[in-house]
Amino acid sequence: MRIVSFLAAGTEIVNAIGAGDQLLGRSHECDYPAGVERLPIVSRPALELGGLSQAEIDSAIAGHMQTGESLYVVDEDLLRRLAPDVILTQELCHVCAPSGNELTRALATLPKKPELVFLTPRTLAEIDENILTVGRVVGRQAAARAVVDRNHAKLDRIRESTKGRPRRRVSFLEWADPPFCAGHWVPEMIEIAGGQDPLGRPGADSVRMTWDDVRATRPEIVIVAPCGFGIREAQRMACELPAIPGARIEPVDANAYFARPGPRYAEGVEVLAKLFHG
């Protein structure tokens, strides 16, 4: 089985179920587990965003999307040489991975059409389904089930540890300038960890909000989890937030635990539970 992943979460799933040696190509964002950076890059962003501020990144992406052009470039020559049997991609977010015309055009050049596996979850249950689907497609069903079962056991332990404790008022920021609320699976993670985010949108897209919206919920904790970034960038962005009276500001590693719907989501719930309850 020859696998190419256009999605960081897909790359993590493949490795978690023990099929990493079948992975031949990756996206520019695939950086976990260690060693995947040695794989050739099949897709990369069409925009150079290095060195830009949050507001500049938001503006550049919004402006590019208005043109109708893709945010990603697929290396069609490399894809043909790799000749994948399976391609992992998504249809959830145009900012996250190739999903439109660029993918259709690249596939049209392949002599043998691979199986496309779309990983497009909106809830934790759908992340589990994605893990099981990849396991089925690559012949690792038992390993995929074991990953899901371990995550469920971890969530059960967290629920038990937070039972009876007061729920923390939280504002989870998937972007900070402008602020975006928590969406898709993240509000579920907050709830399991013992928090409550009035601005979160379970199972739905993250949307823009205002700082007045955030202040109106009187959060005890503001989680800074900028999509596409790790802990160092989150720490920097946390220092730039406007005043939010009474709130403790906590930067977290969005790429590792929140922005990528993969096998590490239960660890993300653990991170939240520790922030909420120690």
CB 103 within 8 A of CB 89: yes
CB 262 within 8 A of CB 36: no
Sequential pLDDT tens for the chain (278 residues): 999 999 999 999 999 999 999 999 999 999 999 999 999 999 887 766 666 677 777 676 666 566 656 677 889 999 999 999 999 998 754 544 555 566 777 788 888 899 999 999 999 999 999 999 999 999 999 999 999 999 999 999 999 999 999 999 999 999 999 999 999 999 999 999 999 999 999 999 999 999 999 999 999 999 999 998 999 999 999 999 999 999 999 999 999 999 999 999 999 999 999 999 98
**What is residue 100's predicted lDDT score, i.e. its pLDDT?**
54
Sequence-ordered list of residues with C-beta below 8 angstroms from that of 96, at least 6 positions apart, any chain: 7, 90
Residue owning tokens 């720490």: 235
CA atoms of 78 and 259, how far apart (whole Å) = 27
- Looking at the DSSP bridge assignments, the partners of residue 173 are 224
**What is residue 108's predicted lDDT score, i.e. its pLDDT?**
82
Domain 3-120: which topology?
Rossmann fold (3.40.50)
Question: ∠ CA(81), CA(86), CA(88), 5° rounding?
Answer: 105
**What is residue 69's predicted lDDT score, i.e. its pLDDT?**
63
Count H helices and E strands in the chain, helices first: 11, 14
**What is residue 73's predicted lDDT score, i.e. its pLDDT?**
83
Return the axis-axis angle of helices 141-162 and 124-137, rounded to nearest 10°. Answer: 160
Reported in sequence order, the residue ranges of 159-220 that DSSP labels E, i.e. its strands, are 168-173, 175-176, 179-180, 183-184, 195-196, 201-202
**What is residue 47's predicted lDDT score, i.e. its pLDDT?**
66
Domain 161-277 matching CATH 3.40.50.1980: the answer reads yes
Report pTM. Answer: 0.91
CA atoms of 260 and 241, how far apart (whole Å) = 24
CA atoms of 261 and 127, how far apart (whole Å) = 6
Chain region(s) in the chain for CATH 3.40.50.1980 = 3-120, 161-277
